């Protein structure tokens, strides 16, 4: 990474939503605390600050409608939790029952998606803090919490009202960055020093990232009323930019060839280096656009980019004119793909520069089909089952918290034993993989934070300086919490150490207590991960089946195109989205399976190759749709209806095998050659891997 790149990323971090939100949250928490302290209300200041701090954990990126909805649920919920918990904390048995109900009920909110998972986790963490505070006046305490929580969301909603597209712009920038990273990995296929298997592995990882950012973008922009209003020019601009970014990914995916053949044929001609440089150049331009969107800067034309791209395109054309007919045909296809990617980048730039005359017509797209209801009424009821991963997670977390609470009652753990419960709730995640990773990050971050905190206590001169330093570390915690959890743990640990040192009058014995409580909490969380587990290895066949079903539908859309009955834009884009999402879900499950104690020891490679083949299949399909939309220039590379039907039959046969409905498919797979051979050959390969998996 160049020095310029590091400086650029560092600079744009401070203009991004990560930092600006962190600054807003920190000021929203600190300002009322300082004001109350200055007026002599020290106890009230702490409680109001607690309410604002805890409610901030429920405030994730989203439209003003999403934020309004979550505020109307979380503020009354926190008020109710604070009052009841403050009323029963001195009765251990009653508190244990209340803790059980709250932990199980709030963790079941995971059934409604990530936004409500954050709400449930924040509510549990808040309740644990109330147990640690041990308030004497439940009514006063709960109303002070209500004041802090209400103040926080008033500021948050005011910001959303004043800057309605802030989260949208950030999501577009994140999607552009992820797509640029995916494009950069594509360049590795033209680097003879990078093994193709390694490039494919990186491509799958990048696909996961792109899918995550695309889903986040859809969730935000398609729920933003101004973006969906054709009369709002700024909203329309951001919607067009979002569509162009997502379509760009399809165009990049379509750039797929037999890279063993490509490397062998063009190793000494200079084509590989030239194409690698073109891809790197377009990736850099995407990063530049992403930084501009993220910072809110005006989009400027980059003459040097256009000049260099034109020069390299001319060099590629020069090589094409001097190649053999077969090689020239392959290079022309590559040239068309590169041109398509460049046009989509230009479409993104045109949308962001409000050049309406260059915007594509998207009026036929029914956008409401691309985003699901965030809170379907039946979601909770359908997850009350021992087969539900959400239900099992809720049971697991509840048992772990009850055990942690019992230990805090009977072991001499000091004044801050509630840290055990905090550690358990913060670490435990619905999946085994994420729980283990969080455990390591929490433990490592706490140890590093304690070490750094001790050094700061030694070198910082007085309590005033320590308090100011603690505020800066709180800001750093919020800034990094959505980017790097372990780094954020380091910052929050330092902040807690500095604040408690001031609160206890420089009695540093609490540091050892924090370490012990963290170790106990980590131990309980790790052991609980084996209770009612949901092993991804047991669900891998389900995700494989979902991939096959999505690709069958995608192939059927291609068959309609070849039959002269082109699919509606909404239908086609939905099938494309489902193919990408299902593959991302399979990759997530496979990565989780690798961290589990029980594995498909003989099937890991088989599942990995299954992913690679389906990645290739979606690339070929994207390429074929691109060729069909471009006209008849390369009609010889488009398969006939019989070949597509054969490919569909191969996938259906593989689907039956994955579902344990065995029947055979004869034929010798061959994944090299023209597009039609690629298509049928890849589908036959997928079928054979399904057969090996089901044995």
Residue 520's pLDDT band, with cuts at 50, 70 and 90, is very high
* DSSP code at position 103: H
Residue 80's pLDDT band, with cuts at 50, 70 and 90, is very high
Q: Out of 83-87, 301-305, 658-662, which region has the weakest mean confidence (pLDDT)?
A: 658-662
Q: Within 13 Å of residue 164, how many CA atoms lie on the same side as its CB? A: 14
Instruction: For residue 170, give the H/E element and its range.
Output: helix 166-186
* DSSP code at position 411: S
What is the pTM (predicted TM-score) of this model?
Answer: 0.85
Q: DSSP H helical segments within 460-568, as ranges?
A: 463-480, 485-503, 509-528, 540-562
pLDDT score of 111 more than 80: yes
Q: List the one residue out of 230, 228, 175, 232 whose CA is nearest residue 206.
A: 175
Rounded Cα gap, residues 463 and 471, in angstroms? 12
List, for residues 330-355, the tens digit of each pLDDT value.
888 888 888 888 888 888 888 887 65
pLDDT of 365: 64
**Residue 82 vs residues 41, 125, 426: alpha-carbon distances, Å:** 20, 11, 19
Rounded Cα gap, residues 339 and 256, in angstroms? 14
List, for residues 173-188, the tens digit of each pLDDT value.
999 999 999 999 999 9
Rounded Cα gap, residues 102 and 76, in angstroms? 15
Q: List the one residue out of 46, 212, 44 whose CA is nearest residue 140.
A: 44
The pLDDT > 70 percentage for the chain reads: 86
Q: Tokens 């001609």, residue?
A: 269
pLDDT of 402: 96
Q: List the one residue out of 684, 597, 605, 688 whose CA is nearest residue 648.
A: 684
**Residue 555 vs residues 157, 576, 637: alpha-carbon distances, Å:** 45, 10, 16
pLDDT of 219: 83
Q: List the one residue out of 687, 537, 557 whose CA is nearest residue 597.
A: 537
List, for residues 413-428, the tens digit of each pLDDT value.
677 788 899 999 999 9
Structural contact between residues 420 and 515, judged by C-beta atoms closer than 8 angstroms: no
Q: Tokens 């954050």, residue?
A: 118
Structural contact between residues 57 and 121, judged by C-beta atoms closer than 8 angstroms: yes
Structural contact between residues 221 and 243, judged by C-beta atoms closer than 8 angstroms: no
Structure token digits, residue 172: 């577009």
Rounded Cα gap, residues 360 and 342, in angstroms? 15
Structural contact between residues 563 and 463, judged by C-beta atoms closer than 8 angstroms: no
pLDDT score of 4 more than 60: no
Highest mean pLDDT among 210-214, 368-372, 687-691: 210-214
* DSSP code at position 188: G
Phi/psi at 413 (5° precision): -105, 5
List, for residues 453-511, the tens digit of each pLDDT value.
889 988 887 878 888 898 899 999 988 888 888 899 999 889 888 887 876 666 667 78
Q: Tokens 């600054």, residue?
A: 23
Residue 554: how many CB atoms within 10 A of its CB?
23
pLDDT of 633: 46
Q: List the one residue out of 22, 54, 18 whose CA is nearest residue 167.
A: 18
Phi/psi at 661 (5° precision): -105, 85
Instruction: For residue 317, give the H/E element and its range.
Output: helix 303-320
Phi/psi at 386 (5° precision): -65, -15
Structural contact between residues 119 and 55, judged by C-beta atoms closer than 8 angstroms: no
pLDDT of 692: 67
pLDDT of 675: 41
Highest mean pLDDT among 88-92, 259-263, 306-310, 558-562: 88-92
Q: At what angle do helices 166-186 and 271-295 cross, to 10 degrees?
A: 170
> Which whole number is the average pLDDT over 255-269?
81
User: b or e along 77-103 (b: 16 or more beta carbons within 10 Å of the residue's beta carbon)?
Assistant: bbbebbbbbbbbbeeeeebbebbeebb
Q: CB-based contacts of 193: which residues, under 8 Å, 6+ apart?
A: none
Q: List the one residue out of 414, 415, 650, 431 whose CA is nearest residue 551.
A: 650
Structural contact between residues 400 and 525, judged by C-beta atoms closer than 8 angstroms: yes
Residue 666's pLDDT band, with cuts at 50, 70 and 90, is very low
> Which whole number is the average pLDDT over 159-166?
84
Rg (CA), the chain: 28
Structural contact between residues 436 and 526, judged by C-beta atoms closer than 8 angstroms: yes
Q: Out of 59-73, 142-156, 483-497, 681-695, which region has the weakest mean confidence (pLDDT)?
A: 681-695
Rounded Cα gap, residues 417 and 391, in angstroms? 27
């Amino acid at each position: 990474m160049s020095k310029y790149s590091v400086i650029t990323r560092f600079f744009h971090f401070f203009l991004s939503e990560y930092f600006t939100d962190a600054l807003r949250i920190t000021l929203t928490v600190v300002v009322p605390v300082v004001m109350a302290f200055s007026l002599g209300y020290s106890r009230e200041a702490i409680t109001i600050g607690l309410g604002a701090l805890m409610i901030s954990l429920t405030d994730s990126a989203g439209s003003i409608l999403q934020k309004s909805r979550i505020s109307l649920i979380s503020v009354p919920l926190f008020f109710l939790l604070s009052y009841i918990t403050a009323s029963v904390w001195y009765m251990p048995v009653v508190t244990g029952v209340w803790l059980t109900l709250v932990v199980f009920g709030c963790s079941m909110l995971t059934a409604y998606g990530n936004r409500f998972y954050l709400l449930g986790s924040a509510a549990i963490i808040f309740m644990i803090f109330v147990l640690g505070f041990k308030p004497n006046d439940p009514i006063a305490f709960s109303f002070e919490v209500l004041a802090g929580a209400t103040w926080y969301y008033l500021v948050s909603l005011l910001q959303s009202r004043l800057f309605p597209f802030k989260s949208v712009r950030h999501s577009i920038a994140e999607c552009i960055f992820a797509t640029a990273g995916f494009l950069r990995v594509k360049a590795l296929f033209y680097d003879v020093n990078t093994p193709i298997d390694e490039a494919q592995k990186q491509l799958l990882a990048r696909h996961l990232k792109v899918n995550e950012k695309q889903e986040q973008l859809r969730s935000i922009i398609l729920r933003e009323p101004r973006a969906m209003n054709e009369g709002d020019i700024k909203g329309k601009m951001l919607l067009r930019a979002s569509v162009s970014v997502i379509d760009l990914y399809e165009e990049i995916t379509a750039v797929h060839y037999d890279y063993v053949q490509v490397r062998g044929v063009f190793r000494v001609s200079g084509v590989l280096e030239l194409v690698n440089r073109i891809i790197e150049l377009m990736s850099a331009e995407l990063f530049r656009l992403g930084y501009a969107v993220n910072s809110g800067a005006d989009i400027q034309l980059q003459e040097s980019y256009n000049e260099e791209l034109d020069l390299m395109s001319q060099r590629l054309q020069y090589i094409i004119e001097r190649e053999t007919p077969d090689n020239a045909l392959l290079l022309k296809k590559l040239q068309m793909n590169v041109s398509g990617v460049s046009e989509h980048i230009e479409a993104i730039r045109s949308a962001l520069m409000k050049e309406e005359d260059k915007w594509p017509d998207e009026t036929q797209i029914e956008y409401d089909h691309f985003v699901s209801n965030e809170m379907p009424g039946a979601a909770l009821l359908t997850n009350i089952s021992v087969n539900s991963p959400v239900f099992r997670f809720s049971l697991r977390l509840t048992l772990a918290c009850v055990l942690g609470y019992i230990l805090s009652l009977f072991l001499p753990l000091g004044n801050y034993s509630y840290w055990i419960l905090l550690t358990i709730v913060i670490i435990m995640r619905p999946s085994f993989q994420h729980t283990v990773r969080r455990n390591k990050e929490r433990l490592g971050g706490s140890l590093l934070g304690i070490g750094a905190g001790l050094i700061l206590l030694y070198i910082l001169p007085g309590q005033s300086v320590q308090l100011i330093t603690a505020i800066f570390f709180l800001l750093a915690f919020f800034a990094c919490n959505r980017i790097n959890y372990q780094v954020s743990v380091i910052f929050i640990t330092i902040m807690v150490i500095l604040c408690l040192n001031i609160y206890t009058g420089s009695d540093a014995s609490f540091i050892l207590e924090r370490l012990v409580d963290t170790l106990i909490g980590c131990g309980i969380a790790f052991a609980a991960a084996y209770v009612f587990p949901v092993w991804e290895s047991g669900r891998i066949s389900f995700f494989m089946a979902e991939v096959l079903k999505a690709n069958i539908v995608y192939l059927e859309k291609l068959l309609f195109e070849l039959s002269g009955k082109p699919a509606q834009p909404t239908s086609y884009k939905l099938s494309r989205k489902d193919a990408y999402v299902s593959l991302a879900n399979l990759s997530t499950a496979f990565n989780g399976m690798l961290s589990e104690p029980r594995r498909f020891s003989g099937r890991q490679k088989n599942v990995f190759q299954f992913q690679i083949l389906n990645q290739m299949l979606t690339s070929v399909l994207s390429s074929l749709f691109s060729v069909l939309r471009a006209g008849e220039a390369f009609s010889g590379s488009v398969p006939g209806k019989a070949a597509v039907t054969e490919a569909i039959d191969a996938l259906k046969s593989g689907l039956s095998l994955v579902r344990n409905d065995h029947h055979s498919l004869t034929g010798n797979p061959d994944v090299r050659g023209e597009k039609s051979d690629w298509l049928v050959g890849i589908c036959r390969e997928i079928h054979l891997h399904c057969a090996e998996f089901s044995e």
